[in-house]
Structure 1
């Protein structure tokens, strides 16, 4: 993962509402969760939720899919793992030198 990609992902997760939304999507696992359920559970207005989901999607942190009239969101676990690996990549390297 490049520095710019990691910075974008961390920037989007740095907003309290987006972080709460993302944690809820992570909790739902690979099956995802309906946007309406996220809205109800987190008490986020629809237009605000849409904006935050768009930001998370632009950072590659979530995917969206439509099933009939219902929009589902799923956390992109590969991207999440890539961000974590980016942060841990050089962990304690100075101690080993």
Structure 2
């Protein structure tokens, strides 16, 4: 899981990619074409293609070819898994700290 989590978090590791991902999350299950994402984010098409490839390689975006268009969707399952991974040990050390403070 560590390797998968690292790839997912790495894929989100730039302001532009976070902007693209947030745009796809807002769009919902229907996803968006590259043109729609470009229009909403203002990111140049060639740069946007690079960011989408990176996000897809990290597993946080799924791309589906439909006719001539490619629909891009946030991978909600993977995003939930990443959130659970990072929060799975939330406050685990706090119990020991409280016992030592008493």
Report the TM-score when normalising by structure 2: 0.88
Match of 2:70 in 1: 71
Alignment of 1:1-97 (within 5 A): 2-97=1-96
Q: Deviations over 1:25-83 (max 9, x none)?
A: 00011111111110112111111111100000001111111222221100000100010
Q: CA RMSD in A?
A: 1.1
Could you tell me how far apart the structure 2 residues matched to 1:62 and 1:50 are?
Answer: 12
Please list every run of 5 or more consecutive structure 1 residues that lacks an aligned counterpart in the other structure. Answer: none
Q: Which has the larger radius of gyration?
A: 2
Task: Tell me whether 79-88 or 35-44 shows the greater mean CA deviation.
Answer: 35-44
Give aligned pairs, total: 96
Q: Deviations over 1:1-27 (max 9, x none)?
A: x11211121112120100000000000
Give secondary structure in 1 for the equivalent of 2:43: coil
Give secondary structure in 1 for the equivalent of 2:11: helix
Give secondary structure in 2 for the equivalent of 1:31: coil
Report the TM-score when normalising by structure 1: 0.92
Once the two structures are TM-superposed, the CA of residue 95 in structure 1 deviates from its matched residue by 2.1
Divergent runs of 4+, >6 A = none
